[in-house]
Amino acid sequence: MTPDSTRPIPASRETTGQTLQRWSTMARESSIVDAELYTKYDVKRGLRHVSGKGVLAGLTQIGDVVGSAAEGDTYVPIPGELVYRGIEINDLVNGFLAEERLGFEETAYLVLFGELPDAEELRLFENQLASHRVLPRHFVHDAVLRMPSRDVMNAMARAVLALYTRDDDPDDTSIPGVLRQSLNVIASLPVLAVYAYQAYADQFLHESLVIHRPENELTTAENILHMMRPDSRFTDLEAKVLDLALVLHAEHGGGNNSSFTAHVVSSTGTDTAAPTSRW
């Protein structure tokens, strides 16, 4: 039977919101899985067992985060422990603070290469990062400023994916190739984060748009503050606190959602930008 195309379509008495709510109820009620089946078939629900213990999703020699301990059949919170390459975070931090230095760059070196750099090696590493920090004006304009987002993480994810277009060999997944791309991402992310925030502040907070170029002689933490502030001024204490925050977030194991997603995406052999944007 062929529908009569001339027959008028009756007007719906539902609003769009009511229709979506009705469809949502239909979708939910037609997709409920008996919770007991997860136990029966030993299906892991996300990244946690029923007991709360994390699901083993991979092995790493880089970092370990411990936030709970077994107590009978359950896990209870404990004072957090963070270890990078076998070095407890307090030992690492106290080392560079005792020498009145900022430590993010040497922490990044440690995470990447498995050992702490000497002064000469650290300077070489810092110079490598500095050489990747400045982004072309057209890239900043097209990848960040023209698409401001209310969510800075959303803006950063899009911008990281756009870094693919700036790479002469973006699909090189050899270790040297991925290392080169990773250094570029480490250097570029702070710049992208600040520019994404400035675009947000301009578009949604109606503040003046401020774009400062990164400075080669400044550390990552110092550059973030320099680029964030309209007058580029910041105190030593501000730089130290931000640097410590960067150190604490430099690596966070493989059991959380973002790290797990990065493991899954990178295991397909895709380019470096794809899993990084999901991290």
| Inter-residue contact 54 to 75 (CB < 8 Å) | no
pLDDT value of residue 7: 57
pTM of the full structure: 0.84
Q: Which residue in 183, 204, 217, 191 sits closest to 137, CA to CA?
A: 191
CB neighbour burial string for 238-252, b if at least 16 within 10 angstroms, e if fewer: ebbebbbebbeebbe
Domains of the chain by start residue, with CATH:
135-278 (1.10.580.10)
* 254: region left, alpha or beta (phi > 0 left; psi from -120 to 50 alpha): alpha
The predicted pLDDT at position 184 comes to 95
* Residue 88, pLDDT score: 94
> In the prediction, which pLDDT does 217 show?
95
CA distance 229 to 131: 22
Give the CA distances from residue 10 to residues 4, 5, 150, in Å, rounded to whole numbers and listed in that order.
Answer: 13, 13, 39
Q: Which helix (H) or strand (E) holds 70?
A: strand 63-71
* The predicted structure's pLDDT at residue 251: 86
For position 67, what pLDDT does the model report? 80
- 212-234 pLDDT, tens digit per residue, is 999 999 999 999 999 999 999 99
pLDDT at 56: 73
Residue numbers of the chain with a pLDDT score lower than 70:
1-12, 50-54, 253-256, 278-279
